[in-house]
Each structure stands twice: as C-alpha cells, then as structure tokens.
Amino acid sequence: MKEYGYRQSNADHTLFLKRRNGLVTCLIIYVDDMIITGDDVEEIAQLKRNLFSKFEMKDLGNLKYFLGIEVLRSKRGIFICQKKYVLDLLAETGLIDCKPADTPMVVNHNLHMELDGKLADRERYQRLVGKLIYLSHTRPDIAYAVGVVSQFMHQPQVAHMEAARRILRYLKGTAGHGVLFKTNGHLNVELYTDADWAGDKGNRRSTSGYFSLVGGNLVTWRSKKQKVVALSSAEAEFRGIARGLSEVLWIRKLLEDIGFSQKAPSKVMCDNTAAIQISENPVQHDRTKHVEVDRHFIKEKLEGGIIELPYVASKDQLADILTKAVNGNTFNSCLSKLSIGNPTTQLEGECRKEENK
C-alpha cells in the first residue's frame, strides 16, 4: 500500500489512506478481507488493478456482506445487522421456535457465583457466549447482558446458562435489529457515559458504559465492569468519563486522518453533577487523590477546548442500558433515540431496489 502512495493511519493500523486532488480513498483490511471506499473513483479503480496484479483476489462489488455483517443501502441511509447470524444461532441452540423475551436481561438479575450452585456445561456455555460477543458488534442492545454472562466463563452455573438463553429469546423477537446510519447535516462527535455504582453483588464493582456518536449516528459502544471498587457514585461516574474521553480522542484522531478535523469541542454527556464539578474544579480535594490521574486527564481536555461536559438528565441518559438491566419501556425508548431497531418494510424495499441497480 505504501508503494501505491497510501499512508497507514495512526488511529487504526488496518486503515490505509490516500489523498489526491482534494479527494480521498480508504482501504481497511481484516486478515484477507478488505473494504475500499472514498470519493476518488479513478484512484479506486487504479487501486483495484494494482492489487489484482499482485494477489489472486475477487471483487464482490458494492458492500453487502462482510464478516457475517449484512449491509443494506437506501436513500434513507445505510443499515447494518446480523440477521442471518442470529437465525443460524437460534437454529443451532434449538430455540428457533422459542417464546421471545422483551428485554435481554431481567431487571435486578443479581447474577453471581452461588456457593452450592449447580454447574452448567462449560464448553457449551463458552461457545454460546463467544458467539454472542461477536454478535454484539452490531447489537449494542445486548452489550450489557453479554458483558454480564461473559464474567462466568470459567465456571458457569445453571442460572448463568438461563441468563444466556434469555438473551437468545430476546434475539428471537429482534433478529433483524441493527444500526441505521443516516445523514444529519453535521459530523460532530458526542458521547453519552454512565456508570452503575457497586452494581455487582459479588464484589461490588461498578459497571460503566458509553455510546459514541458521529454526526448523530451511533458508531462505538462499550459496557465494562470497572477494575477496582469505587467508593462513591461520583467516583464510578468519574472513571467512566475518563474511559469515554479516551474513545472521543480516538474518534477525533481517526476523523482527522480521513480529512474531517473537528473544530468544535466534543460533548461528553454525564448525569452526575458531582463528577462534572470535580472535573471542572481546579482545586485538589482529599477525596479525589485516588483518581488524580483521571482528574488531570479530563481537566486538561476541558481546558484545551477539546471536550465539554454538559449535564444530561437521567431520563435522557442513553448509556443507561449499558450499565444495568432496565424495564422494557426505558429500554425501547433508548434504542429508538439511537436508531437501533428493525428497518421498516419501506427501507427494505428501497434497499432491494438499490441492490437490483
């Protein structure tokens, strides 16, 4: 790629970029599968010729299917999902005709390692959860639930297997769900970050999560249990902000590499006023010494105009579904705001027309 004048991105080493006459061409590769995109039609054609001269390759045309991810295009936007993957998983586990669940995990599930809990088939459990982890690449709605069940891979019990099977029952009713990308007239980077303080009943560690959006479209998400016990809800939220900020900086760097530098500060939405005050207050407090590095990291980016920390009400906190199990109404409301769901019949019809062309 370097021979052809391409530069390897510092933000993502699998991404190669070339600018020519104000146009850009991108190639991203995973092992021996690659995607080529950009607005330089001539360069894309030349790159294909160059690659075909070096390697035995196939051009599969417009992107429709990549590593198990289905891509549908229409005038409304681009929709990605893993419907076939979900249906194959349900058939493999014998749950293709099961009764659907309305959410991936019950509220107040209290999953932990029971002292005398009956053990489940470990190999079967690990295989199932491994497939659910891959599915969460296009299904942020199951990210929290999958994160919980993946904590018991070493010695799964029957209760954990039942929780994993509930995720499958949820997938039964939402097999075609995915993420819709549409044009919203801007490319601003925003992030919703949240934390559930001491939510793990086994070791009282907190779970933090974030959704990042570019141009109003959901691009990355994460739900992860924190490595240490937080002494307050503010501390748990504070650590979550620091992890989310790292993601914002990475996305801004990636956009800059592609040619879309961010002029305005990125908004990091948090619903904890104490965490926001600690971040913005230059005075060192005894109660923040143990998170001093995170505090300086956040404060530096605030002062540099790279981020803002606006307060968002808990009812508008979209990252809530990444930190704990919520009821059906709250769950579906968050998914709707994030454009996560099943494409309408109209969208599917438009996609088929585009594919036929």
DSSP 8-48: E-SS-TTEEEEEETTEEEEEEEETTEEEEEES-HHHHHHHH
Query: φ and ψ at 264, to 5 degrees?
Result: -90, 155
Q: Nearest to residue 349, comparing CAs of 75, 10, 50?
A: 75
Instruction: State the DSSP code for 66.
Output: E
Count the Cβ atoms, other than its own, within 10 Å of residue 31. 7
Token pair, residue 108, equals: 């107040």
DSSP 110-146: -----TTPPBP-HHHHHHHHHHHHHHTTT-GGGHHHH
Own/partner contacts of 212-215, CB < 8 Å, gap of 24 or more, are 212/244, 212/247, 212/248, 212/251, 213/189, 214/187, 214/188, 214/189, 214/251, 214/255, 215/183, 215/184, 215/185, 215/186, 215/187, 215/188
What pLDDT is stored for residue 254 in this prediction? 96
Sign of CA dihedral 333, 337, 340, 346: positive
Q: Nearest to residue 246, comparing CAs of 264, 274, 222, 230?
A: 222
What pLDDT is stored for residue 347 in this prediction? 57
Residues of the chain with pLDDT under 50: 345-346
Gyration radius of the chain over CA positions? 22
What pLDDT is stored for residue 330 in this prediction? 94
State pLDDT tens for residues 209-261. Answer: 999 999 999 999 999 999 989 888 888 998 999 999 999 999 999 999 999 99
Cβ atoms of residues 104 and 170 within 8 Å? yes
What pLDDT is stored for residue 346 in this prediction? 44
Q: Please tell me whether the overall predicted TM-score, pTM, comes out greater than 0.85 for this model.
A: yes
Q: How far is the C-alpha of 156 from the C-alpha of 54, rounded, in Å?
A: 48
Query: φ and ψ at 52, to 5 degrees?
Result: -65, -30
What pLDDT is stored for residue 55 in this prediction? 93
Token pair, residue 355, equals: 């594919």
Token pair, residue 117, equals: 């809990």
Cβ atoms of residues 120 and 202 within 8 Å? no
Sign of CA dihedral 125, 126, 130, 133: positive
Q: Within a 13 Å sphere around the CA of 69, how many CA atoms are in the beta-carbon half?
A: 17
Q: How far is the C-alpha of 36 from the C-alpha of 354, rounded, in Å?
A: 19
CA-to-CA separations, 49 to 4, 38, 54, 159, in angstroms, rounded: 11, 16, 9, 55
